[in-house]
């Protein structure tokens, strides 16, 4: 049996979710709480496998409770909320939440997410997953989007090489060099080779390669 604790300050929602989950043969609801602080204490006492955690609660948020629980426990925490703005999503995941679902999910989807969490498979609401990918791309620096060959060309530009010198150094045709240079300038969003060279030195790329 998968032992579950449900934490949600909306009694109708909490009781409704529990009523459905109790019909699932694999699941056992071992406890419930209406606020984050009580929920965290309950989880530490009962040691469930999975916790279904609301985010916005008056006495201790889901983020605070998740952070407190994950300091000592190894259970999987599934955030179940109506919110998917950046101020809620990323702090919850950073606090240690394993899955992130919206309350628009069906009862079947919630039950399945609990079973997957128990098996070590997380479930991320598509809207949240999109935000995560966007943030991941934003966190990456432009040169990290370059291909290996484009990176080599960029380093050559940083060393002040001409197209012909790059061609000789990398054993590629001059037309190929020009194509790579054009791609590099575009991906770095710089206007010319001088700005590309400045980018190389500003980010210490030559030092990293040496």
- pLDDT surpasses 50 at 36: yes
* Res. 156: pLDDT tops 60: yes
Q: Which residue has the higher pLDDT, 119 or 208?
A: 119
Q: Are 52 and 27 in contact (CB under 8 A)?
A: no
pLDDT in tens, 159-174: 999 999 999 999 999 9
Point out the least confidently predicted range of 25-34, 78-87, 177-186: 78-87
Say what the pTM is.
0.64
Q: How far apart are CA 126 and CA 6, in angstroms?
A: 23
Q: What is the pLDDT of residue 143?
A: 86
Cβ density class 11-29: b for 16+ within 10 Å, e for less: eeebeebbeebeebeebeb
Would you state the pLDDT for residue 136?
Answer: 58
**Partners of 53 in beta bridges:** 7, 79
Beta-carbon contacts of 115 under 8 Å, excluding residues fewer than 6 positions away, are: 2, 26, 27
Tell me: the pLDDT tens digits for 1-11?
Answer: 999 999 999 99
Query: What tokens appear for 194 in the block?
Result: 């001088």
Query: Helix, strand, coil: what percent of the chain each, to 5?
Result: 55, 15, 30
- Give the list of residues 6+ apart from residue 160 with CB closer than 8 angstroms, or none: 197
């Amino acid at each position: 049996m998968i032992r579950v604790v449900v934490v949600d300050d909306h009694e109708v929602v909490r009781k409704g979710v529990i009523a459905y989950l109790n019909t699932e043969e694999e699941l056992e609801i071992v406890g419930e709480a209406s606020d984050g602080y009580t929920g965290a204490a309950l989880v530490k006492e009962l040691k469930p496998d999975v916790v279904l955690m609301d985010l916005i609660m008056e006495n201790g948020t889901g983020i605070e409770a998740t952070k407190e629980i994950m300091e000592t426990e190894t259970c999987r925490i599934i955030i179940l909320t109506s919110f998917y703005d950046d101020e809620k999503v990323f702090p919850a995941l950073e606090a240690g939440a394993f899955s992130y679902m919206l309350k628009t999910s069906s009862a079947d989807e919630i039950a399945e997410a609990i079973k997957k969490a128990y098996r070590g498979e997380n479930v991320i609401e598509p809207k949240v997953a999109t935000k995560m990918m966007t943030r991941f791309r934003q966190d990456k620096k432009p040169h990290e989007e370059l291909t290996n060959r484009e990176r080599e060309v960029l380093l050559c530009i940083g060393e002040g090489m001409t197209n012909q010198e790059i061609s000789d150094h990398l054993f590629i045709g001059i037309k190929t060099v020009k194509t790579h240079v054009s791609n590099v300038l575009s991906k770095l969003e710089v206007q010319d080779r001088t700005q590309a060279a400045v980018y190389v030195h500003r980010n210490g790329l030559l030092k990293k390669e040496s």
